[in-house]
Amino acid sequence: MSEHIMSSKFYYTIWIALLCLTVITAAVSFVDLGPLNTVVALVIATIKALLVVLFFMHVKYTSEKLTKIVIVSAIFWLFLLLALSMADYATRLLS
């Protein structure tokens, strides 16, 4: 686990970044980017989630590989659920 303690300035930096990204994502949604709107929104959300997981939840500094395995598995299983369900819905019109 995170034995070394981060400076509070570091946390403030992450915090500012998260707030900026929130404002950006809200602002960008008013701009017409076509289908890219969704992509941008999800990319920004993922960056924010990564910031929280890696720094606030200390995953970046953990020596424990298992934590990362658990996170990756959870995302992978979520992907299975979404992808294999969509495999049905996306191909219904074809048949």
| CA–CA gap between residue 85 and residue 67 (Å, rounded) | 27
- Residue 54 near other proteins by CB under 8 A: no
Q: Tokens for 58?
A: 């200390």
- Residue 36 near other proteins by CB under 8 A: no
* Proportion of the chain in helix, strand, coil states, percent, rounded to 5: 80, 0, 20
Say if residues 39 and 5 touch (Cβ distance below 8 Å). no
| CA–CA gap between residue 70 and residue 91 (Å, rounded) | 31
Out of 60, 61, 65, 86, name the contact with other proteins by CB under 8 A: 86
| CA–CA gap between residue 62 and residue 67 (Å, rounded) | 8
- Residue 67 near other proteins by CB under 8 A: yes
Q: Tokens for 61?
A: 């500094």
Q: How far is the CB of 44 from other proteins (least distance, A)?
A: 7
Q: How far is the CB of 66 from other proteins (least distance, A)?
A: 6
- Residue 56 near other proteins by CB under 8 A: yes
Q: Which residues bind other proteins (CB under 8 A)?
A: 1, 5-6, 8, 11-12, 14-15, 18-19, 22-23, 25-26, 29-33, 37-38, 41-42, 44-45, 48-49, 52-53, 55-57, 64, 66-67, 70-71, 73-75, 77-78, 80-82, 84-95
